[in-house]
């Protein structure tokens, strides 16, 4: 890494030579060491999105194109107007690198960070969701260790802050063995007034700048630049760059911040996350078109003797910066005193458009505010890896075990089995809003007290599909996650994403990112889903083994259900009711769990998305919901629709008699029919009386709906109409396998 | 007369607003959220110590809150016979403050557990159970990491009828399987000798509305309705 120098102090920076020259040209002088450190952080991939920004421009402008979007990408969180005077703020972020090094604190501070992002929109955080990815657990103590402590980190931190964890997903794959993915999402609820009180900019000269919360310590210095490098064996030595979380202080910050915002005297609000004070102050003043005068000596530190470099770059957790009207200063400080929160007035804004930090006589920082927040982009070349053709050409071997045995193996596989071991450790009910709790639906559903509205939220993506075809895989992720909220009766309102990819400097890695973004942008434009925020985590690549993670553009969808009567749940309910499969099943076994669990192959033809059909299916379902003729709904996902049916049987101890003869119009092989992961399908339950009407509506929308069987109450799935022979599945056995996989691996 | 109930807000409490919501909007009683340093017992007919992580549960769950000035106020209330309930962390605080016997240890599984359980009513004579029948089972969720009840005075508690709830199956059987956290004798909640103060690990405020309950029960309401009944009887 290049070195910069000032007055005898040296600093290694992650900046390129071009960037170093640009900075010197801009300032017409050599920056101080503190300034160099600030540029280093603000120009890091994590803060500046310098590799990803050109691609992210493909997303249509959410604020311009959707009147209910109040804040879009570029803000700390996306915000949408949901009517009745309320708004929702939400965001998703990665905390992959810290969690790979120190899973407990890495995951905990990930939660801490995402809570702050939502809080600084002026609203109360009301839900967390956590998409996680690890190496396979079986026979792998390292993966078990990461999994156990990431979950514990989320549990200890999230539970203490009083924010329920209402959903998430877990994928296990060898590519995540040394680079686990810990993504964290948060949803906030507030009035539109609350939101308007808390812009994340300082637009008025003469306002006070207050720092509130935890003290500034030496932890986490250069956490951001660390997240923008690949992990190496040396990373163990980076452990001090992982911050330590304090959920109790976070809880107090939430309450003190919300009460301060209620005073009406707060004019700007920003959390201190990656890049610490440098990032927060330069963004506040840069975006607000003001400048600032900060007195370094006022910043309260955890230990004496910290220099300006350390203070400006510290990523100590649990800190918020407030911009406060002069006339309201006393009232806001009184709130902080009540909650016994440490705070200090550290300076004032001015109209200089320059950010100045003084240490006594010395001006340690003197930078044009926009210089820091406007990092240049770097165009990255991309190249489709040649090995993909070979992978996609892989054929499904002939099954050498019986179909029922395959299904038992699938239901017990790490990616399909129950994740109850995880969500039992999360308080998913605090806040008294959780209407559909973990395990009860495809999404988490929260009520909005005082209205007849419900929020449904889900996260996910299929990284195996994305690996074979990132463009289609990313679209498939959207179909799946939108499908999750639709399955529970919601209309998808907006999307945020968290792009986890490899080293952007390698064209073959950058290809996956590039195509996944194109896929998401095209799909969202077509289906009219605003993209209101995102986060990019690159460099998820192991330098030593050269192992690249499977491309993982995690998608989060927030939807709205109008009226309690319109909530649809997952479990089958009544013996004698009919089971319908909605959508087309194709010979798409590429990247399926069937391929990986049974044959240990990753290739094959991955699912392809047909936007028109997806749109028609969604509209069709919403019409059925209006008629209240759907008793249960679950989207078809990993393992194919036979797994979907089993999952729907479990809760109420139902069974099913299936006849698939008429279902197989495309002359699929038995395994293709049962285990294909074609996207955009749903399994629904309905009364026999309503079948004709459903089929009539289906014809109107031009979509495929097949009767696949009837519910029974004897805990068996009987499958007839296959090409080879009938099968019988014991649901008690399936449930035991489904429930015991993770506890058996983790509780030793 | 208007009944006034205080929900004491310790720093780190997180079921405070939930409890206020249920008291105000579901039960329809005047309940106020009172910052722990501002609590004056003379202004209230009873108080609730809500769940959460008071003072981050640093040092030991509930121990720091047990030394808050509000506990001195609550002690006056206790002696005076007014109703006091500690829910989850509130229960931990009440044992630390020695309003209630016993202690809450780490769950047997060493993990936080969030799930719906059933508890059986063993004493319907307390300030918070007078609307229940002995032997009733209530559906109610737990969410805690340290809820394993322990006491070295088991016999005394049994003799004095201080065991108010035990974890049970849906049918009311007291079994090991029904015990979520390894509590001694499946104990989920206890009361003081005078029966005006109870503590329990499960969360009545999360079980008071049909829409939140897996089986549409509202057993949590009974706790607060009993409290109101108790206050009415005391003051009439």
Q: Which of A3, A80, A24, A72 is nearest to A559 (CA)?
A: A80
Please give the Cα distance from A436 to A726 (Å, whole number): 36
Query: Do residue A251 and residue B53 have CB atoms under 8 angstroms apart?
Result: yes
Q: Quick one: pLDDT at residue A748?
A: 63
Phi and psi at residue B222, to the nearest 5°: -60, -35
- CA-to-CA distance for A361 and B53, rounded, in angstroms? 45
Which of A162, A340, A418, A446 is the best substitution to test chain B (most B C-beta atoms within 10 A)? Answer: A162
Q: Alpha helix locations (H) across A501-556? A: 507-527
Q: Give the dihedral of Cα atoms A72, A268, A243, A378; nearest 10 deg.
A: 50
Q: Distance between CA atoms of A583 and A686, rounded to whole angstroms?
A: 16
Contact (CB, 8 A) for A170 and A638: no
Exposure string for B149-167, b = 16+ CB within 10 A, e = fewer: bebeeeeebeebebbbbbb
A161 shares contact with chain B (CB less than 8 Å): yes
Alpha-carbon separation of residue A161 from A11, A187, B14 (angstroms): 38, 14, 7
* Residues A691, A579: Cα–Cα separation, whole Å: 10
Residues of A tagged active-site: 46, 95
Q: Is A424 on the interface with B (CB under 8 A)?
A: yes
Sheet strands side by side (includes A434-436): A434-436, A444-447, A453-460, A552-562, A491-500, A531-537
Q: What angle do CA B166, B169, B174 make, to 5 degrees?
A: 45
Please give, one letter per residue, the 3-state secondary structure of A16-30. Answer: CHHHHHHHHHHHCCC
Burial of A77 per CB tally in 10 Å (0-12, 13-18, 19+): buried
Q: What was the pLDDT predicted at A671?
A: 95
Q: How far apart are the first and last CA of chain A?
A: 44
**What is the number of other CB atoms lying within 10 angstroms of the CB of residue A233?**
9
Burial A187-211 (b: 16+ CB within 10 A, else e): bbbbebebbebbbbbbbbbebbbbb
Domain ranges of chain B: 4-235
A251/B114 touch (CB, cutoff 8 Å), yes or no: no
Share the mean pLDDT of chain B: 96
* β-bridge partners, A83: A86
User: At residue B5, what are phi and psi to the nearest 5 degrees?
Assistant: -120, 135
Decide: helix, strand or coil at residue A126.
Answer: strand
pLDDT at A634 (0 to 100)? 97
Pairing state of beta strands A362-368 and A354-359? antiparallel
Q: Determine contact: A76 vs chain B, CB below 8 A.
A: no
Residues of chain A with pLDDT under 50: 233-234, 236, 239
Of A248, A427, A435, which is closest to B212 when you measure between CB atoms? A435
Closest CA to A678 of A606, A620, A615, A621: A606
DSSP annotation of B205 = G
Nearest to B212 among A251, A338, A434 (CB): A434
Q: Quick one: tokens of B70?
A: 């509000």
Tell me if B189 sits within 8 A of B120, measured CB to CB.
no
First to last CA, chain B: 10
Helix axes of A247-262 and A329-338: crossing angle, nearest 10 degrees: 150
Residues from chain B that touch A249, judged by Cβ atoms under 8 A, are 56
* CB contact (8 A) between residue A424 and residue B113: yes
Does residue A252 sit at the B interface (CB-CB below 8 Å)?
Answer: yes
**Spatial separation of the C-alpha atoms in residues B119 and B138, rounded to whole Å:** 5
CA atoms within 13 A on the CB side of A120: 27
- B52 neighbourhood in chain A, CB within 8 Å: 162
Share of chain B above pLDDT 90, in %: 98
Question: Using a CB-CB distance cutoff of 8 angstroms, which residues of chain A are in contact with residue B214?
Answer: 437, 440
Subunit contact A160:B57, Cβ cutoff 8 A? yes
Indicate the SS3 state at residue B118. Answer: strand
Residue B96 contacts by C-beta under 8 Å, 6 or more apart in sequence?
A: B60, B61, B62, B63, B65, B66
CA distance B193 to chain A (A): 31
The DSSP code for A5 is: E
- Predicted confidence at residue A112, as pLDDT, reads 92
- A643-652 burial, b at 16+ Cβ within 10 Å, e below that, comes to bbbbbbbbbe
pTM of the predicted model as reported, rounded to 2 decimal places: 0.94
Nearest residue of chain A to residue B17 (CA atoms): A431
- Contact of A625 with chain B, judged by CB distance below 8 Å, is answered with no
* Residue A341 near residue A332 (C-beta atoms within 8 A): no
Cα–Cα distance measured from residue A604 to residue A699, given in angstroms and rounded to the nearest whole number: 32
Evaluated on CA atoms A705, A710, A716, A721, the torsion sign reads: negative
pLDDT in tens, B199-211: 999 999 999 999 9
Please check whether the domain covering A69-373 is classified as CATH 3.90.650.10. Answer: yes
Are B52 and A162 within 8 A, CB to CB? yes
For chain B, say whether A528 makes contact (Cβ under 8 Å): no
Tell me which chain B residue has its CA closest to the CA of residue A449. B21
The DSSP H or E segment spanning B93 is helix B89-96
Spatial contact of A158 and A427, defined as CB atoms under 8 Å apart: yes
Rounded to an integer, what distance in angstroms lies between the CA atom of residue A329 and that of residue A255?
18
Shortest Cα distance from B53 to chain A (angstroms)?
6
For every residue of A379-395, DSSP letters joined together read -------THHHHHHTPP
HEC string for A320-355: EEEEECHHHHHHHHHHHHHCCCCEEEEEEEECCCEE
Which SS3 state, helix, strand or coil, does residue A681 take? coil
| A359 DSSP β-pair partners | A362
- pLDDT band (50, 70, 90) for residue B176: very high
What residues of A are in contact with residue B115 (Cβ under 8 Å)? 424
Element (H or E) spanning A419, and its range? none
Dist. CA A242–CA A234, nearest whole Å: 14
**Nearest-CA distance A669 → chain B (Å):** 40
A162 touches chain B (CB under 8 A): yes
Q: Which residues contact A539 (CB under 8 A, 6 or more apart)?
A: A45, A97, A227, A228, A229, A230, A231, A502, A503, A504
SS3 content of chain A, % helix, strand, coil (to 5): 40, 25, 35
Which residues 429-448 of A have a C-beta within 8 angstroms of B? 429-432, 434-435, 437, 440, 447
Burial (Cβ within 10 Å: 0-12, 13-18, ≥19) of residue A519: buried
3-state SS, residue A664: coil
Chain region(s) in chain A for CATH 3.90.650.10: 69-373, 568-748
Could you read off the pLDDT of A328-341 as tens digits, one per residue? 999 999 999 999 99
Burial class (CB in 10 A: 0-12, 13-18, 19+), A701: middle
Beta bridge partners of A127: A187
CA separation for the pair B232, B226 (Å, rounded): 10
Q: Which residues of B touch A127 (CB under 8 A)?
A: none
Q: Which residues of B are catalytic?
A: 88, 203, 205
Cross-chain Cβ contact A432/B22 below 8 Å: yes
CATH H-level superfamily of A568-748 = PurM-like C-terminal domain (3.90.650.10)
User: Which residues touch A565 (CB under 8 Å, ≥6 apart)?
Assistant: A628
A505 burial level (CB within 10 Å; 0-12, 13-18, 19+): middle
Alpha helices in A241-288 (DSSP H): 247-262, 276-288
pLDDT at A239: 46
- Burial of residue A641 (CB within 10 Å: 0-12, 13-18, 19+) is buried
C-alpha span between A183 and A445 (Å, rounded):
20
Chain A residue nearest residue B203, CA to CA: A430
Closest-CA residue to A177 (of A147, A156, A219): A147
CA–CA separation, B17 and B31 (whole Å): 11
How distant is the Cα of A57 from the closest Cα of chain B, in angstroms? 40
Could you please state the CATH topology (level 3) that the domain comprising B4-235 is classified under. Answer: Rossmann fold (3.40.50)
Element (H, E) at A628: none
Distance from CA of A111 to the nearest CA of B (A): 16
């Amino acid at each position: 890494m290049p070195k910069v120098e000032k007055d005898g102090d040296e600093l290694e920076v992650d900046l390129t030579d071009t960037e170093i020259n640009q900075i010197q040209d801009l300032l017409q002088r050599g920056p101080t060491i503190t300034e160099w450190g600030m540029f280093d952080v603000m120009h890091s991939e994590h803060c500046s999105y310098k590799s990803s920004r050109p691609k992210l421009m493909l997303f249509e402008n959410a604020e311009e194109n959707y009147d209910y979007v109040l804040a879009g990408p570029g803000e700390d969180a996306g915000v949408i107007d949901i009517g009745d005077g309320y708004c929702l703020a939400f965001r998703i972020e990665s905390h992959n690198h810290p969690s790979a090094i120190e899973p407990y604190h890495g995951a905990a501070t990930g939660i801490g960070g995402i809570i702050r992002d939502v809080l600084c929109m002026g609203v109360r955080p009301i839900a967390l969701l956590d998409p996680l990815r690890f190496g396979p657990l079986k026979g792998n103590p390292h993966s078990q260790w990461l999994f156990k402590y990431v979950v514990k980190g989320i549990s200890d931190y999230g539970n203490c802050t009083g924010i329920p964890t209402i959903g998430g997903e877990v994928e296990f794959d060898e590519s995540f063995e040394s680079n686990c993915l810990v993504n964290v999402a948060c949803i906030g609820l507030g009035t539109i007034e609350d939101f308007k009180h808390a812009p994340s900019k300082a637009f008025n000269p003469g306002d006070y700048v207050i720092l509130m919360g935890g003290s500034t310590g030496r932890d986490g210095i250069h956490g951001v630049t660390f997240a923008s490098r690949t992990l190496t064996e040396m990373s163990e030595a980076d452990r001090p760059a992982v911050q330590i979380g304090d959920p109790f202080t976070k809880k107090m910050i939430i309450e003190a911040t919300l009460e301060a915002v209620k005073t009406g005297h707060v004019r700007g609000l920003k959390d201190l996350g990656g890049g610490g004070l440098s990032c927060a102050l330069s963004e506040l003043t840069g975006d607000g078109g003001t400048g600032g005068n900060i007195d370094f000596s006022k910043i309260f530190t955890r230990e004496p003797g910290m220099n300006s470099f350390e203070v400006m770059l510290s990523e100590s957790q649990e800190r918020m910066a407030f911009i406060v009207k002069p006339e309201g200063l006393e009232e806001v400080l009184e709130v902080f005193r009540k909650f016994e929160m440490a705070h200090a007035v550290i300076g004032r804004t001015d109209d200089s458009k320059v950010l100045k930090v003084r240490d006594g006589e010395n001006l340690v920082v003197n930078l044009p505010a926009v210089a820091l927040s406007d990092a240049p982009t770097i165009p990255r070349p991309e190249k489709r890896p040649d090995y993909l053709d070979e992978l996609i050409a892989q054929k499904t071997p002939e099954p050498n075990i019986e179909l029922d045995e395959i299904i038992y193996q699938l239901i017990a596989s790490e990616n399909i089995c129950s994740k109850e071991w995880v969500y039992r450790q999360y308080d998913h009910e605090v806040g008294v809003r959780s209407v559909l709790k973990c395990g009860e639906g495809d999404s988490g559903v929260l009520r909005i007290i005082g209205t007849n509205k419900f929020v449904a939220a889900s996260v996910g993506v299929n990284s195996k599909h994305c690996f074979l075809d990132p463009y289609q895989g990313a679209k498939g992720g959207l179909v799946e996650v939108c499908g999750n909220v639709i399955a529970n009766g919601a209309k998808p309102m907006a999307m945020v994403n968290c792009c986890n990819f490899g080293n952007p400097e390698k064209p073959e890695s950058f290809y996956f990112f590039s195509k996944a973004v194109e896929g998401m942008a095209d799909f969202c434009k077509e289906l009219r889903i605003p993209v209101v925020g995102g986060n990019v985590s690159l460099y998820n690549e192991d330098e030593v083994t050269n192992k690249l993670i499977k491309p993982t553009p995690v998608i989060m969808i927030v939807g709205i259900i109008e009226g309690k009567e319109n909530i649809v749940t997952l479990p089958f309910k009544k013996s004698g009711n009919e089971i319908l499969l909605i959508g087309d099943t194709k010979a798409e076994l590429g990247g399926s769990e069937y391929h990986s669990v049974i044959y240990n192959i990753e290739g094959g033809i991955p699912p392809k998305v047909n936007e028109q059909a997806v749109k028609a299916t969604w509209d069709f379902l919403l019409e059925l919901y209006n008629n209240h003729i759907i008793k249960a709904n679950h989207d078809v996902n990993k393992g194919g629709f036979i797994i979907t049916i089993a999952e729907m049987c479990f809760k109420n101890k139902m069974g099913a008699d299936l006849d698939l003869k008429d279902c197989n119009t495309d002359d699929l092989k038995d395994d293709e029919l049962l285990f294909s992961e074609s996207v955009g399908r749903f399994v629904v339950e309905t009364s026999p009386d309503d079948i004709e009407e459903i089929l009539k509506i289906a014809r109107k929308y031009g979509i495929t709906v097949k009767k696949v069987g009837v519910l029974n109450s004897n805990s068996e799935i009987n499958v007839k109409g296959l090409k080879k022979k009938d099968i019988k599945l014991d649901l008690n056995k399936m449930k035991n396998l489904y429930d015991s996989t993770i506890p058996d691996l983790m509780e030793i | 007369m208007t009944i006034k109930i205080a929900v004491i807000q310790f720093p780190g409490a997180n079921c405070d607003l939930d409890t206020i919501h249920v008291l105000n909007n579901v039960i329809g009683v005047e309940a106020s959220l009172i910052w722990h340093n501002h609590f004056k017992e003379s202004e209230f007919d009873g108080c609730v110590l809500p769940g959460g992580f008071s003072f981050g549960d640093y040092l030991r769950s509930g121990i720091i809150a047990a030394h808050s000035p509000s506990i001195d106020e609550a002690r006056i209330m206790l002696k005076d016979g007014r109703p006091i309930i500690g829910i989850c962390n509130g229960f931990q605080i009440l044992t630390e403050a020695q309003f209630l016997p016993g202690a809450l240890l780490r769950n047997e599984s060493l993990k936080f557990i969030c799930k719906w359980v059933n508890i059986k009513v063993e004493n319907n004579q307390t300030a918070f159970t007078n609307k229940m029948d002995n032997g009733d089972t209530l559906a109610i969720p737990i969410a805690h990491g340290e809820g394993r009840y322990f006491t070295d005075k088991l016999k005394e508690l049994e003799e004095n009828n201080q065991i108010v709830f035990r974890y049970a199956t849906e049918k009311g059987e007291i079994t090991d399987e029904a015990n979520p956290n390894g509590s001694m004798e499946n104990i989920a909640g206890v009361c003081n000798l005078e029966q005006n103060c109870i503590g329990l690990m499960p969360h009545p405020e999360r079980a008071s509305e049909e829409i939140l309950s897996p089986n549409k029960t509202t057993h949590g309401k009974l706790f607060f309705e009993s409290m109101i009944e108790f206050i009415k009887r005391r003051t009439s």
